[in-house]
Amino acid sequence: MLKCSLLAFFAASSCLFAADPSFAEEELKKVVADVENNDWYSAQNRSLALIQSQENTSPVHEAYYYLGISYYHIRDFEFANDYLTKYLETASAASHFEDALLYKFAVAEEFRLGQKKRIFKWQKAPNFLSAMEDALEIYDQIIATLPFSELAASSFYGKAKVHTYFEEYKEAIRAYHTLTQKFSKHELAIEGYVEMAKIYLAQCVQEHLDPDVLENAETNSRKFAAAFPGEERICEVNALLGKVKEAFAKNLYETGRFYERTYKPSAAAIYYRKALMKFPKTESAKKCKSRLASIQS
């Protein structure tokens, strides 16, 4: 109630003034003072009133920025993103350009980690819609604006995580590949190699195993070791690769068992030998060796 009253008061009082650059400058100073005091609701109300009454003045462009970060700090991320976008679009020389992008990235991270949005941006509605797609859009905006920045590296990583959440594995791998290539020595590149190894393993639960998955997993492990020799997480990637190989070996073993059950031992032996030849260190290969010995005897 108090918030609405303040907003009505500022809006009504501001309407007494036509577009007045000096008045707008004074109001903007008050907004800045509110922000410095972390008085986010007051900064929000003053910014809204300034935008509504002084739309043709340059301080209004700055007001969009302060309005965006005010909404961010009261955790209204959807409106925060909208006003920060408006600021970047309207300000010819955005003095808070990088800060605005940092805030937009922070909004994207909130959306990626589960913060919801309203239906039709109705301010009184509860937040219950997934905002993952909004996160992707923000990451793409940042990548397009600052393609070689630290923020872009983080955006590629965030983008890949969202695609992984949706099980859009090809898109996720593409984002991780770009991250590891454009930012080859970045700390997030290490995470990229590890996450790709996890995706390749996740793809092994499909009924029909794609041979490309095994090849890509092996390539990923080699590239990781070459890019970061001595990195302790190489062991983790190799362990994940081992599980991928186990999945393929198990598939060969189960195929061999099928042929055994259908009284085709010669066909079964072919699959057992293939498992022993391609994946000799797997548990399934040990089982294949035992079954092969049984067939031969």
pTM of the model: 0.86
Q: CA-CA distance, 287 to 70, in Å (whole number)? A: 63
Q: For the purposes of burial, counting CB atoms within 10 Å of the CB of 243, is it exposed (0-12), middle (13-18) or buried (19 or more)?
A: middle
| pLDDT above 90 (res 107) | yes
pLDDT at site 99:
95
- Is 164:177 a contact under the CB 8 Å cutoff? no
Nearest to 152 by CA among 84, 95, 104: 104
Give the CATH number of domain 1-111. Answer: 1.25.40.10
Q: Which two tokens stand for residue 177?
A: 């590949």
- Mean predicted lDDT score pLDDT of the chain: 90
Reported as a single tens digit per residue, the pLDDT across 268-294 is 999 999 999 999 999 999 999 999 999
| pLDDT above 50 (res 87) | yes
Alpha helix segments (H runs only) across the chain: 2-14, 21-36, 40-53, 59-73, 77-90, 97-112, 132-145, 150-165, 169-182, 187-202, 211-227, 234-261, 265-278, 283-296
**Residue ranges per domain, the chain?**
1-111, 163-231, 239-297
Q: CA-CA distance, 167 to 32, in Å (whole number)? A: 43
| pLDDT above 60 (res 53) | yes
